[in-house]
Structure formats: C-alpha cells, structure tokens
C-alpha cells in the first residue's frame, strides 16, 4: 500500500536556517513549538559516509535491536529488501555508539541541543540516543516521548513524513489510559492515515506536518504527540534531552505516583527523580530554586495581565469601561 498524495501535501511546520541559539530558545524551545532546522548537519561525516556498504563494514557483524529481536545489519537489510508487511520491523538501537564507536564519532549534537542535564547522572542516565533505520512504510505510531523530554531527529538518508499534535490535543484514533502509562492506537500507521487523517481536516487545532529529508532535523518539543512514517529507506539519529527550559517538567514527571510504570529507559525507575534532583543540586547549586522562582513569576505576571483585562472590560457589554 502506498501513501496517498493528499496525505503528503500539508507542510505546516516552521522552517529555519542559520538561526542563533538564542532565537531557537525564545521562538521554539521556550514556547514549546516544533521547528524544522535546515542546513545544520553539513559538518557531519555521517551524511557522506553512511551508505549501506559503509555501515556493514564498520558494524562488523554487531547485532542491533530490531523490535523484539536483534539482528546484524546484513540480516536486517535482507529483511528490509523483502518485507511485504504493512508495518515492517524497525531498527531502533540505543547502544549503537557503544557497539560501533565510529558511528558515534560521525555526528555531533547540533548547537541548539547542547545543554543535556541528564548528563549529570553519568552512566545512570536513561537511554537518550538511538540510530533508526527502516524501509519505506516503517515508522513510529503516535506516542509522546519518554520522561517528558524533548527530542531532535536528524535524517541522514531518506525522507520521513511527520504528523504532530500539541500536548493538549490527543490525536484522533489514539486512546491513552487515564494514568498515561499505556496508549492504544491503530496497529498500522497506514491504517491511521486511512481512517483518521481525514478527521483532522475540520479540527480547530490541526496537526503540524512536514516531510523531513536528508540533512534536516525536526525538533520535537516535550509532550507533543507524534507519528512518523518513512517514505523511502531512511537512516536517522535521534536524541532526547533535558535543558533548563524543561527541567521542572521532567522532575515533576519523574515524581508521579506511578513512576514505576511511566518512567522509561532505565532500570531504576522509582529512584530516578531523587537521583536526578540531587545530582543537579550538586552540579548546578541553586538552579532548581531559580527556575522555580522564575516559573512563579511567570504565573503571577500572567494572572496580572488577565486581571487587568477583566477590570478593563465591561462584563455585560463586552465593551471597555473607559469612556470619554
Ligand atoms: O521513526 C522516527 O524516526 C521517529 C522516532 C520517534 O518518534 C522517537 O524517537 O520518539
């Protein structure tokens, strides 16, 4: 089954090239809005080097995580060339830099995402980087990223169709459990497009959509629902991260009563909150207090703005109280 042209047309994401880190923070990270970044992978050796042949060579028979099994790249490429399933297995490996250190040296974290506060946990940090390889039709069905982190996803080869909804809008056809620990959605991504994509047309809050191609990056702000389908064989790197812009969110998430089910990417789910908080306090004394203070000030400023308008507008007529 093919993706229909009408599923691919809409391109509503903001695209930026050569933006400063300050602009990224104020226009996208702080307001928690997605953006597609162009032209920031030019220095990555991976962009030139990562052909099938090269990856087969450097991986030297190492096995990678492919859904519930592990496979060599040779085995996976053979599978991908012959797969008939509507939802092919996806290679998604969190340990690729340990298995093949050269792959880790072939890319660098773009300037926008260098603050990586989970780094204070050293070896105990949750999984945070993955190599992703899959044929056309493979992909990720709707989900929100782990531990309330934000992410970036860089396409080294291929093309990915993205559909993203803000945290307050649950995508049609998707049913998260009340505690957020589980999500049910159509098994196949194609099925979601066939049965639910059309439903978004009349929604007030339509999804942010794009096709992300070789050399481009999508920024996925924390809490955003996203679905991704590869339109051709694709190779990508993704990293999840915590900067000071969402540190408080992440700490709140890790502290939830059902942390043992919600927290992921680590074996010590229940203690992650305390370990992370203590490590931040030790490495960056005063940071959490300062962020809490700034958050309170923002709430107070918002309230003040609202109450100004409430006092200025006449509730009965909807007009201004001011008169000449
Ligand atoms: O399939 C992809 O490239 C998207 C991966 C993704 O959504 C994720 O890592 O959260």
Q: Using a 6 Å cutoff on CB, does residue 134 contact ligand 1?
A: no
Cβ-Cβ contacts under 8 Å for 59 (sequence gap 6 or more): 72, 73, 99, 100, 103
Residue 198, in any domain of the structure: yes
| Short-list 102, 100, 90, CA closest to 234 | 90
Residue 257, in any domain of the structure: no
Region for residue 305 given its phi and psi (left: phi exceeds 0; alpha: psi -120 to 50; beta: otherwise): alpha
Domain total of the chain = 1
Atom nearest to 90 CA in ligand 1: 1
Residue 280, in any domain of the structure: no
Quick one: pLDDT at residue 25? Answer: 98
Distance 322 CA to ligand 1 centre (A): 53
Which parts of 132-229 fold into alpha helices (H)?
A: 189-196
pLDDT in tens, the chain (324 residues): 789 999 999 999 999 999 999 999 999 999 999 999 999 999 999 999 999 999 999 999 999 999 999 999 999 999 999 999 888 999 999 999 999 999 999 999 999 999 999 999 999 999 999 999 999 999 999 999 999 999 999 999 999 999 999 999 999 999 998 887 888 887 789 999 999 999 888 887 789 999 999 999 999 999 999 999 999 999 999 999 999 999 999 999 999 988 778 877 777 777 899 999 999 999 999 999 999 999 999 999 888 877 765 666 554 444 444 433
Q: Which tokens is 23 given?
A: 């602009």
Q: What span, in angstroms and rounded, lies between the C-alpha atoms of 232 and 252?
A: 38
Q: What span, in angstroms and rounded, lies between the C-alpha atoms of 310 and 304?
A: 10
Quick one: pLDDT at residue 265? Answer: 79
DSSP SS3 for 306? helix
Mutate which of 131, 189, 221, 226 for ligand 1 pocket (most atoms within 8 A of beta carbon) = 226
Q: Which tokens is 154 given?
A: 């860089």
| CB distance 197 to 203 below 8 Å | no
Q: Using a 6 Å cutoff on CB, does residue 150 contact ligand 1?
A: no
Quick one: pLDDT at residue 309? Answer: 58
Atom nearest to 160 CA in ligand 1: 3
Distance 126 CA to ligand 1 centre (A): 16
Residue 274, in any domain of the structure: no
Residue 179, in any domain of the structure: yes
Distance 238 CA to ligand 1 centre (A): 7
Q: What span, in angstroms and rounded, lies between the C-alpha atoms of 229 and 244?
A: 31
Place of tokens 């993706």: 3
Q: Using a 6 Å cutoff on CB, does residue 250 contact ligand 1?
A: no
What residues does 212 pair with on adjacent strands? 160
Range of the domain at 113: 5-244
Place of tokens 């991504």: 189
Residue 320, in any domain of the structure: no
Residue 281, in any domain of the structure: no
Question: Containing H/E element for 6?
Answer: helix 5-8
What residues does 154 pair with on adjacent strands? 217, 237
Torsion angle defined by CA atoms of residues 53, 56, 60 and 61, in that order, rounded to the nearest 10 degrees: -150
Q: Using a 6 Å cutoff on CB, does residue 129 contact ligand 1?
A: no
DSSP SS3 for 251? helix
Atom nearest to 145 CA in ligand 1: 10
| CB distance 89 to 79 below 8 Å | yes
Residue 264, in any domain of the structure: no
| CB distance 147 to 246 below 8 Å | no
Quick one: pLDDT at residue 314? Answer: 52
Quick one: pLDDT at residue 61? Answer: 96
Atom nearest to 234 CA in ligand 1: 3
Reported as a single tens digit per residue, the pLDDT across 238-249 is 999 999 999 999
CATH number at residue 203: 2.60.120.650
Mutate which of 238, 240, 241 for ligand 1 pocket (most atoms within 8 A of beta carbon) = 238
Minimum CA distance residue for ligand 1 atom 6: 140
- Strand ranges for 76-137 from DSSP E: 91-93, 129-134
Atom nearest to 236 CA in ligand 1: 3
């Amino acid at each position: 089954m093919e993706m229909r042209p009408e599923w691919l047309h809409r391109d509503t994401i903001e695209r930026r090239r050569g933006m400063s880190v300050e602009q990224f923070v104020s226009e996208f990270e702080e307001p928690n809005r997605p953006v597609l970044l162009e032209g920031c992978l030019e220095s990555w050796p991976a962009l030139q080097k990562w052909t099938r042949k090269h990856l087969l060579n450097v991986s030297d028979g190492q096995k990678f995580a492919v859904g519930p099994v592990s496979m060599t790249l040779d085995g996976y490429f053979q599978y991908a060339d012959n797969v008939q399933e509507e939802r092919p297995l996806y290679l998604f490996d969190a340990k690729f830099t340990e298995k093949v250190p050269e792959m880790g040296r072939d890319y660098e974290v773009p300037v926008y995402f260098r603050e990586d506060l989970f780094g204070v946990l050293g070896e105990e940090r949750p999984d945070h980087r993955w190599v992703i390889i899959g044929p056309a039709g493979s992909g990720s069905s709707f989900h929100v990223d782990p531990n309330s982190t934000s992410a970036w996803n860089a396409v080294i080869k291929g093309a990915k169709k993205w559909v993203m909804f803000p945290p307050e809008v649950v995508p049609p056809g998707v049913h998260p459990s009340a505690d957020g620990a589980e999500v049910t959605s159509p098994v196949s991504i194609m099925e979601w497009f066939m049965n639910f994509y059309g439903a978004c047309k009349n929604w007030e809050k339509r999804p942010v959509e794009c096709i992300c191609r070789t050399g481009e990056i999508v920024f996925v702000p924390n809490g955003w629902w996203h679905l991704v389908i590869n339109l051709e064989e694709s190779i990508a790197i993704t990293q999840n991260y915590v900067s000071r812009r969402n540190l408080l969110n992440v700490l709140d998430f890790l502290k939830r009563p059902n942390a043992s089910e919600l927290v992921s990417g680590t074996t010590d789910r229940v203690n992650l909150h305390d370990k992370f908080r203590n490590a931040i306090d030790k490495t960056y004394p005063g940071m959490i207090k300062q962020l809490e203070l700034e958050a309170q000030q923002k709430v107070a400023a918002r309230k003040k703005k609202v109450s100004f308008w409430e006092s200025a507008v006449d509730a009965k007529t909807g007009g201004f109280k001011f008169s000449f």
